[in-house]
Chain A
Amino acid sequence: MTLETSVNESIIGDFLNFNRNIAEIPSRISVPHEVKMDTCEYDVVYEEDRIRMLHYKPLTSKQIKTPLVISYAIVNRYHIFDIDPKKSWIRNLLESGIDVYMIDWGTPTKLDKFLGFDEYVNDYLDNCIEDVCDRSSVDKVSLQGYCTGGTLATVYSALHPEKVKNLVATAPVIDGWKDTTVISNIAKNFDVDTMVDVVGNMPPEFIYYCFSILKPFEQGIEKYLKFFQNLENEKYVNSFLKIEKWLAETPPIPGELFKQWIKGIYQENLLVQDKMFIGNQHVSLKNITMPVFTQVAVGDHLVSPECSMPLHYAVGSDDKNLEIYPTGHVGMIASSYSQKNVLPTLTKWIKTRSD
């Protein structure tokens, strides 16, 4: 007796191609350290402990006087802002004549587990801004913060308003109780004291776990299926490897900062309730009286719009702008969409409010 099955030839062909692609991976893709992440040139102009401040080389002959300092998030690294020349946030700002500095928070070691909001805001961020002011001979800078860096920038602007000319908050984590993401659902019941007590700094593995449950099937399966199918497309492979490297290079988060973050923002929601204290200083969002631009993305699965938008309503500024974009957390800063829709509005906004 023979068993007859009818399988379409093209399905078998696809399957064989897929397997061939897997076998050819070692000869087709670069090893991680060969994947170059940045496209714009920069100098490291300031270093303190593990942190570095990068100053990008100008791409225009004339620049506006007020520099822009970007406070990157404490999760992952700053590379995503300049990972692809056609989608580069940094390149776009430089081409618009803006003088750009970027804070790279570096990789904390066990010795850094006691670093908290106070050190990040009142020491590192303040020292970086002081340094930029000295270099550019200005009293104030424009400050942009992305994601958790947006919270740091917001807190800094509330504590040191005299040094911030404009505040740009891109997907900032502000109102933890209103956040509707999976991250906040986990954070609300998280025993952060025990975790920090035992492990010290928050290990990257735990951060990977949090990422993996955000879009487990799109990010964990579909992304790789697409990669294997597109192995012959050099441009696709190059872009894929850069993003993979960026995702994999997340540093640990200092234990104390993580503790203050989870408790202060997600569990007790201190910032929005006007109850946050950093280094004995009261953080009042009403102190933020400089122009404020809040950018949120509707499809943000890391920081929901409901979590970021309260900043717009809580600040003391008269000159404030809230933009809601139909994109995602990363799409807002590193996509063709952001080049066409997010950056033109932002650069215009910054330039009209700068010296």
Chain B
Amino acid sequence: MISMMSSKPASLTAVGPLRNFTENIKKISQELIESNQEIVDFNTYLMEYYKQLGETWADSQKKVMSKISEIPQDTESTEAYKRVWIDMFENDFTQLFDTESFSKNYNKLVSTEMQLLKRWNTIMDIMLKSANMPTKEEIDEIYQELFSLKKQIKKLDSSKKRRDVKNDS
């Protein structure tokens, strides 16, 4: 025992109540390590997202500035200035949202966020399982079961109704 403790202290957890704990810690660590790449990807896509928005904002602002020099500087023109600003920004941002590059980057951003959420769910499932509580996967199975049961009951109910109508007539 002393020899084992001095050479491989981690192996102590291979016995007794710590075994599950170690297994869970290992799984959680694995998930966290694997999520690193997704965090990096998420930040890359998020930066690109803000870059696209920022560049479009700057371009629109430039256009507005060049346009407002043509608008007289008096009270009546405040409304005209607002209109130019809104129209210019609306037009440029709609063009941005219509581009393939925006759509692809935005969807990668959402998708990576979902992958990260998925990892979080897996970690939560490990913890719930260790606390002897139902996991998301198990709850989903129950939902699915309930859904198909409800469907079956509805089918039976409607066939019974049809039979009753037939018998009545």
| Interface band, chain B | 20 to 34
Residue B90 is within 8 A (CB to CB) of chain A in the complex: yes
Q: Tell me if A114 and B93 are in contact (CB < 8 A).
A: no
Q: Tell me whether A185 and B103 are in contact (CB under 8 A).
A: yes
Asked if residues A185 and B114 are in contact (CB atoms below 8 Å), the reply is: no
Given A111-B143, A113-B143, decide whether A213 and B97 contact each other with a Cβ distance below 8 A.
Answer: yes
Within 117-147 of B, Cβ neighbours of A (below 8 Å) are at 117-118, 121, 143-144, 146-147
- Residues in B with CB closer than 8 Å to A110 are 143
A253 CA to B93 CA, complexed, in Å: 27
Q: A182-B98, A198-B114 are in contact. List 9 more A-B contacts (CB 8 A).
A: A8-B74, A11-B78, A14-B78, A185-B97, A185-B99, A195-B111, A213-B93, A217-B85, A222-B82
| Stretch from A78-86, A186-194, A282-290, A307-315 forming part of the interface with B | A186-194
B80 at interface by CB-CB < 8 Å: no
* CB within 8 Å of A: which B149-165 residues: 150-151, 154
Interface flag for B110 (CB, 8 Å): yes
Is B7 an interface residue, CB under 8 A from the partner? no
B90 engages A217 (CB within 8 Å): yes
Query: By the criterion of a CB under 8 Å from any partner CB, how many residues of chain A are at the interface?
Result: 33
Contact A123 to B154, CB < 8 A, known contacts A11-B78, A185-B97, A222-B86: yes
A-B pairs with the 6 shortest C-beta distances?
A191-B111, A189-B107, A182-B97, A114-B147, A217-B90, A194-B114
- How far does the Cβ of A159 sit from chain B's closest Cβ, in whole Å? 16
Partner-A contacts on B (CB < 8 A): 74-75, 78, 82, 85-86, 89-90, 93-94, 97-100, 102-104, 106-107, 110-111, 114-115, 117-118, 121, 143-144, 146-147, 150-151, 154
Within the complex, what minimum Cβ distance (angstroms) separates A195 from chain B?
Answer: 6
Question: Is there an interface contact between B114 and A195, defined as CB atoms closer than 8 Å?
Answer: yes
On chain B, the residues within 8 Å of A10 by CB distance are 75
**Which residues in A have their C-beta under 8 angstroms from that of B143?**
110-111, 113-114
Which residues of chain A come closer than 8 Å to B98, judged between CB atoms?
180, 182, 185
